[in-house]
């Protein structure tokens, strides 16, 4: 990719951007002076789609007009509301509609999946995760290990970057999995690491895990809506994700889950069951015996929270219209442009922890201020005071995520200028 350091170049990129109009579909937060912030925090909370306001309003109106009758009589009947999300969700994660379900929240879904897919024995009881893993994932895995009567000290296997490096080498993951192979029950890794922004080779990891006889699951919190996914073809046993980051579903919005179709008929597989996972044809007969719906829906426990699900449905419509191939193409160019400007203008003072190859990262770049200018937290606060919304992750990383649905090249240009100014201020 060829780039230029001038503002004219950024403006020309925006003028030629076929996705430029999608920015108008979102509510952009305002600065105190009335201008728009530079919002590079979609990896933490995506912006509000304007259509979400309309869709939630419609559900509130239906609730008022029909009350309980809306379960069956509404245009978007509540009894099957989550089913409306399945086709678009399946397309985003590379799955069949029967392999996905929208339910609960991410960590809840992770626990529900581990109930079924983490079945330790005295000989095979270990779980492999990355270091650093997002704390909620680590807590969930540790608690499941203890729940089954094992100890994390002996059952939790962590693989991290080598000394002096910021990302995990595939060969190190492979070597550790192969070494621990006969004792590993579950390989539980992210699609994209929250801290470094590194994309993992999920196809290779799935093959490797299965070759060692273990189950393979992925946390796609930072991957869904960010990078292309082909879960069905890759053969992962399960995956979980949230919808409030790149999918713009709103704070604490309903999450998603994938279960590969080869597990669709696990009627006797251990699981925590609920009424909404029961066979649809006989659900309202109120029988005492649980008959799971074939596929991912069989892991549902409760009906969808309509007011939380509606914004996700609105956002998925935008993704369908934009198309993931076009979004990914813009994302690679937008993030590469950011990396170029940081390297050209700030390379002596800012280190990029995220992989340099665009195929090995999503929208996020993780930046670390170097050397004597290393008052990183102060730099982050100066960015905020100048209208930049990004986020901070301990101990010393500023995460910046230009999102292709609503961010512009000129914003990237302006951000680097603001960061340059922040670095120039005395500590």
Span 316-369, pLDDT tens digits: 999 999 999 999 999 999 999 999 999 999 988 899 999 999 999 999 999 998
Mean pLDDT of 157-164: 97
DSSP string, 280-303: TTTGGGT-SS--BPSSGGGG--S-
What CA–CA distance (Å, rounded) separates 227 from 97? 19
Predicted pLDDT of residue 374: 52
Span 115-152, pLDDT tens digits: 999 999 999 999 999 999 999 999 999 999 999 999 99
Residue 218 tokens read as 């992925």
Q: Is residue 298 part of a domain?
A: yes
- Specify the 3-state DSSP secondary structure of 133: coil
Mean pLDDT of 260-283: 89
The answer to whether residues 163 and 273 belong to one domain is yes
The answer to whether residues 214 and 334 belong to one domain is no
Active site residue 14: no
What CA–CA distance (Å, rounded) separates 175 from 352? 26
Q: Is residue 53 part of a domain?
A: no
Average pLDDT, the chain: 95
| 3 pLDDT above the threshold of 80 | yes
- Percent of the chain at pLDDT > 90 equals 91
Partnered with residue 192 across adjacent β-strands are 199
Closest CA to 106 of 315, 216, 313, 257: 257
Predicted pLDDT of residue 373: 47
CATH number at residue 25: 3.90.1150.10
CATH number at residue 313: 3.40.640.10
The CA-atom distances, in angstroms, between 136 and each of 108, 133, 143, 256 are 10, 8, 10, 16
Mean pLDDT of 75-100: 97
The answer to whether residues 204 and 232 belong to one domain is yes
Mean pLDDT of 157-167: 96
pLDDT, greater one: 127 or 426: 127
DSSP string, 176-208: HHHHHGGGEEEEEEESB-TTT-BBP-HHHHHHH
Q: Is residue 74 part of a domain?
A: no
Mean pLDDT of 245-257: 97
Q: Is residue 64 part of a domain?
A: no
Predicted pLDDT of residue 370: 83
Closest CA to 402 of 92, 52, 132, 46: 46
Q: Is residue 71 part of a domain?
A: no
Predicted pLDDT of residue 92: 98
- Percent of the chain at pLDDT > 70 equals 98
The answer to whether residues 170 and 289 belong to one domain is yes
Partnered with residue 388 across adjacent β-strands are 38
Active site residue 245: yes
The answer to whether residues 194 and 313 belong to one domain is yes
Mean pLDDT of 39-54: 98
Span 170-224, pLDDT tens digits: 999 999 999 999 999 999 999 999 999 999 999 999 999 999 999 999 999 999 9
Q: Which of 320, 345, 378 is the last residue of a domain?
A: 320
The answer to whether residues 105 and 18 belong to one domain is no
Q: Is residue 48 part of a domain?
A: no
| List 134, 194, 246, 258, catalytic entry | 134
Domain limits for position 30? 7-36+324-424
The answer to whether residues 329 and 262 belong to one domain is no
Predicted pLDDT of residue 227: 98
The answer to whether residues 257 and 158 belong to one domain is yes
| List 17, 137, 219, 237, catalytic entry | 219
Q: Which of 279, 298, 320 is the last residue of a domain?
A: 320
Q: Which of 272, 290, 320 is the last residue of a domain?
A: 320
- Is the Cβ–Cβ distance between 246 and 226 less than 8 Å? yes
| List 399, 406, 408, 413, catalytic entry | 399
What CA–CA distance (Å, rounded) separates 95 from 359? 21
CA 365 to chain centre: 15
Domain count, the chain: 2
- Specify the 3-state DSSP secondary structure of 127: strand
The answer to whether residues 286 and 150 belong to one domain is yes
Give residue 395's pLDDT band: very low, low, confident or very high (50, 70, 90).
Answer: confident
The answer to whether residues 127 and 204 belong to one domain is yes
Contacts 24+ apart (CB under 8 A), 235-240: 235/206, 235/207, 235/210, 235/260, 236/202, 236/206, 236/260, 237/117, 237/263, 238/113, 238/116, 238/117, 238/263, 239/93, 239/191, 240/106, 240/109, 240/110, 240/113
| List 23, 84, 126, 245, catalytic entry | 245
Active site residue 375: no
Give residue 426's pLDDT band: very low, low, confident or very high (50, 70, 90).
Answer: low
The answer to whether residues 127 and 266 belong to one domain is yes
Active site residue 244: yes
Predicted pLDDT of residue 248: 98
Active site residue 399: yes
pTM: 0.95
| List 244, 246, 258, 409, catalytic entry | 244
Q: Is residue 47 part of a domain?
A: no
| 427 pLDDT above the threshold of 70 | no
Q: Is residue 292 part of a domain?
A: yes
The answer to whether residues 101 and 190 belong to one domain is yes
Closest CA to 404 of 6, 23, 8: 23
Span 47-74, pLDDT tens digits: 999 999 999 999 999 999 999 999 999 9
């Amino acid at each position: 990719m060829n780039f230029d350091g001038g503002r004219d170049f950024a403006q020309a990129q925006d003028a030629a951007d076929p996705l430029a109009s999608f920015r108008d579909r979102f509510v952009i937060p305002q600065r105190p002076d009335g201008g728009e912030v530079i919002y590079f925090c979609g990896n933490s909370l995506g912006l509000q789609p304007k259509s979400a306001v309309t869709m939630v309003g419609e559900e509130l109106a239906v609730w008022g007009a029909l009350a309980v009758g809306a379960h069956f009589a509404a245009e978007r009947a509540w009894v099957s509301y989550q089913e409306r999300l399945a086709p678009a969700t399946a397309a985003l994660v590379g799955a069949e509609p029967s392999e996905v379900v929208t339910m609960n929240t991410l960590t809840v879904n992770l626990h529900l999946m581990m109930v079924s897919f983490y079945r330790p024995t005295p000989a095979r009881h270990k779980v492999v995760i990355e270091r650093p893993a997002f704390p909620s994932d680590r807590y969930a895995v540790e608690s499941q290990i203890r729940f089954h009567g094992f100890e994390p000290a002996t059952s939790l296997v962590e693989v991290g970057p080598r000394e002096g490096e910021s990302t995990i080498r595939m060969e190190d993951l492979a070597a550790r999995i192969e070494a621990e192979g006969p004792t590993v029950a579950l390989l539980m890794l992210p699609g994209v690491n929250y801290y470094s922004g590194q994309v993992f080779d999920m196809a290779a990891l799935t093959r490797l895990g299965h070759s060692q006889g273990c189950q393979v699951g992925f946390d796609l919190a930072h991957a869904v809506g960010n990078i292309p996914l082909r879960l069905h073809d890759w053969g992962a046993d399960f995956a979980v994700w949230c919808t409030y980051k790149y999918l713009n579903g709103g704070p604490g919005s309903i999450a998603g889950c994938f279960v590969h179709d080869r597990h669709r008929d696990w009627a006797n597989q251990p699981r925590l069951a609920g009424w909404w996972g029961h066979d649809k044809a006989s659900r309202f007969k109120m029988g005492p015996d649980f008959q799971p719906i074939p596929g991912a829906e069989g892991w549902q426990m409760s009906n969808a929270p309509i007011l939380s699900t509606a914004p996700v449905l609105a956002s998925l419509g935008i993704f369908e219209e934009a198309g993931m191939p076009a979004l990914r193409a813009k994302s690679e160019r937008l993030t590469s442009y950011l990396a170029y400007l940081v390297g050209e203008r700030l390379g002596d003072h800012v280190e990029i922890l995220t992989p340099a190859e665009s195929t090995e990262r999503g929208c996020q770049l993780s930046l670390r201020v170097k050397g004597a200018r290393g008052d990183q937290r102060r730099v982050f606060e100066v960015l905020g005071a100048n209208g930049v919304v990004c986020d901070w992750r301990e101990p010393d990383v500023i995460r910046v995520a230009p999102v292709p649905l609503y961010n512009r090249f000129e914003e990237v240009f302006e951000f680097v200028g603001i960061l340059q100014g922040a670095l120039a201020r005395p500590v």
